[in-house]
Structure 1
């Protein structure tokens, strides 16, 4: 079994650890070493029965371990992108984690470092980029395109042909109409119903959803400056994806 380390020790990290254990129950695949986190208060402690191995830079001592970055929340949803940039690892170090209770339909693909938790459904021909967090009970339907570093909170539903640009954050139970685009680093509030395109760098909420203010995703890595709210959402770039093979 290949060693696996989870970066972060919060809720999403522990949920990912549970998904890894579920994978191992079906087919022993991963030797889960523990968590890496920069919070000094966590040193020497455990989370979900696994040790905090040290700060993120400790990864240099584990050159053969696979890595999945499991951080980010609505107050700083750019954190995952920053850490991936900071680590500078090749794509092959990042596995795709798919809970056995998730369904990935024919013609769909997932990028490195992406996590699908229990109850997620990708119906058909869905493309998901790298380092995407897909929480329980999310449904992505035909021809959806999800770019890198997107976060989909629990219960999100996308109609067919939706495009989520880099770093977008969709709150729990948000509903997105078919063929709608959500721009780079925009945030859609929980329970919102989005009926038209959301420009880059904005917060939208409500039913129907409307603009509330400019987004504050947190500091981005140098090569990805925050989108300007007045700019049109750029086209989805080339996604680095790999065919799902069950891990």
Structure 2
């Protein structure tokens, strides 16, 4: 029997996660979306209603939850929502699209989502509330921290460490053995050839820090 599912967030990411959940009808039964923007309450998002603010998760105790919030402008936003909601770990779903591929022995933390085409090539532990958008690649010995976001076609070579709440832009590439710091942001299409410190934004080929 499928499990009721609530999505926190009602933007484009929520639409993608909703589509992935609907591709797994034996696992999930989407109930609705929750969003803290009152202007969105009651709106229809791909046939599902925005029921109200995120605090309604506490009224639907039988439902699992996925937080669908991600932005390079606020890389810590998903972590902040999870902290504010204060739910037990078992309240969060883990979703793997049927067209994603995770090697035998991969462990995914609660709240983590792998969208279509994402690939994890070897056993590893992926953190809590990690988002791997379409066609993301994690290879051997990578360590992906809690709340990290990897946008479409981001790719990690072997032994890369991605810090908590880091954001890797679409099409970015990270050389083997490097570290991407906590809350760091990597621009679209960047090629990272050296360690990126916590909280910095890097872009370009090769990637370099952006002046603020």
TM-score, structure 1 normalization: 0.83
Q: Which 4+ stretches in 1 moved above 6 angstroms?
A: none
Residue 186 of structure 1: CA displacement? 0.4
Residue 213 of structure 1: CA displacement? 3.7
Q: Which has the bigger relative contact order, CA under 8 A and spacing at least 6?
A: 1
Q: Matches of 2:71 and 2:199 in 1, distance apart?
A: 16
Contact 1:202–1:213 (Cα < 8 Å) also in 2: no
| RMSD over equivalenced CA pairs, Å | 1.0
1:193 partnered with 2:194: no
Residue 60 of structure 1: CA displacement? 1.8
2:35 to 34, 37, 40: 37
- How many residue pairs get matched? 211
Q: Could you say which residue in structure 1 is the equivalent of 2:21?
A: 20
Q: Could you say which residue in structure 1 is the equivalent of 2:58?
A: 60
Per-residue CA deviation, residues 186-223 of structure 1 (Å, 9 max, x unaligned), is 00101000011111110111111111146xxxxxxxxx
Q: Could you say which residue in structure 1 is the equivalent of 2:129?
A: 131
Q: Could you say which residue in structure 1 is the equivalent of 2:160?
A: 162
Contact 1:204–1:213 (Cα < 8 Å) also in 2: no
1:176 to 157, 174, 177: 174
Contact 2:22–2:29 (Cα < 8 Å) also in 1: no
Q: Could you say which residue in structure 2 is the equivalent of 1:48?
A: 46
Q: Could you say which residue in structure 1 is the equivalent of 2:73?
A: 75
Residue 106 of structure 1: CA displacement? 2.2
TM-score, structure 2 normalization: 0.97
Q: Matches of 2:159 and 2:146 in 1, distance apart?
A: 17
Per-residue CA deviation, residues 48-73 of structure 1 (Å, 9 max, x unaligned), is 11011111111221112100001121
Q: Could you say which residue in structure 1 is the equivalent of 2:95?
A: 97
Per-residue CA deviation, residues 137-176 of structure 1 (Å, 9 max, x unaligned), is 0011011110001000001011001000101100000000
Q: Matches of 2:95 and 2:80 in 1, distance apart?
A: 20
Secondary structure at 2:208 match in 1 = strand
Q: Matches of 1:102 and 1:11 in 2, distance apart?
A: 19
Q: Matches of 1:153 and 1:116 in 2, distance apart?
A: 11
Q: Matches of 1:181 and 1:77 in 2, distance apart?
A: 17
Secondary structure at 2:24 match in 1 = helix
Per-residue CA deviation, residues 102-122 of structure 1 (Å, 9 max, x unaligned), is 000122111000000000000
